[in-house]
Amino acid sequence: MTGPTTGTTPASTAPGGALDLNADLGEGFGRWRLTDDDALLSVVTSANVACGFHAGDPSTMRRVCERAAELGVRVGAQVSYRDLAGFGRRAMDVPPDELADEITYQVGALRVFARAAGTDVTYVKPHGALYNRTVTDAEQAAAVVAGVLRSGGALPVLGLPGSRLHEAAERAGLPVVTEAFADRAYTAAGTLVPRRTPGAVVLDPEEVVARSVRMAREAAVTALTGEDVTVRARSLCLHGDTPGAAGLARRVRAALEAAGVRVEAFA
């Protein structure tokens, strides 16, 4: 079996341990809405809230934070490149100092709404192209961590096991939280298959549910090319922008609990 493992950080978990369920929420803008925030908040334990750079606006951020606080769901800042038109999924070359400032800006904006709702930002997760870039790009990863540090508090960083982002966070003394994806295909190296590749997104609900249970119980997933890959994770991402996302999330959570997996937030 190949692929990176998570190391020994407190936010790692062995198969059969507790598992957090996170989803990308607040991904709308103005009158346009993409995610069924209320439905997903009734299922997940952590909410990755868009902070305005790839999606999200002040009113949406406020509503999601208020509802998350009501339901006891942890609020995380989902930070991104400044790319509303491309939904944060286009590759960008942002100077490190500028990127760090933009990360601080996004976390700070969400924190105001979270605190007004009676909760707080409890972790940070990059989105889209920034997430993928910081898996291998040490400079961009360090810039993200610098922005998190400047925003105040030792916020955990949610990301892919073995990533440059986690290496930078650990060097800076930030907790790291390892993540797996229920509906994304993996390479034999344990990274995510690029979205433009056929089969990159797993669309069959039965397969998504089965993969989720296997990752939680066995710390393994089958790569797109057929190899078994080790994927030890404390949090499982359920994408909120896929058709029927809320119903699928309910099925995944029910299957995990039926398999004896304890579903609870990491933060």
Whether the per-residue pLDDT at 8 is higher than 80: the answer is no
Helix (H, G, I), strand (E, B) or coil at 228: strand
Higher confidence at residue 28 or residue 146? 146
**What pLDDT digit, counting tens, does each position of 120-140 carry?**
999 999 999 999 999 999 999
**What pLDDT digit, counting tens, does each position of 167-214 carry?**
999 999 999 999 999 999 999 999 999 989 999 999 999 999 999 999
Q: What is the pTM of this model?
A: 0.92
- What sign does the dihedral 28-106-90-43 (CA atoms) show? negative
CA 42/CA 80 separation, integer angstroms: 25
173-177 long-range Cβ contacts below 8 angstroms, 24+ apart: 174/145, 174/148, 174/149, 175/9, 175/10, 175/11, 176/9, 176/11, 177/9, 177/11, 177/20, 177/123, 177/234, 177/235, 177/266, 177/267
Which band of pLDDT confidence, cut at 50, 70 and 90, is reported for residue 108? very high
CA 197/CA 225 separation, integer angstroms: 12
- What average pLDDT score do residues 251-255 get? 98
pLDDT of residue 32: 80
Contact status, residue 65 vs residue 114, Cβ threshold 8 Å: yes
Amino acid letter, residue 139: E
**What pLDDT digit, counting tens, does each position of 36-56 carry?**
999 999 999 999 999 999 999
Whether the per-residue pLDDT at 89 is higher than 50: the answer is yes
Q: Please give the backbone phi and psi of residue 85, each rounded to the nearest 5 degrees, phi first.
A: -65, -35
Burial label, 49 (beta-carbon count in 10 A; 0-12, 13-18, 19+):
buried
Which band of pLDDT confidence, cut at 50, 70 and 90, is reported for residue 222? very high
What is the pLDDT of the chain when averaged over all its residues? 92
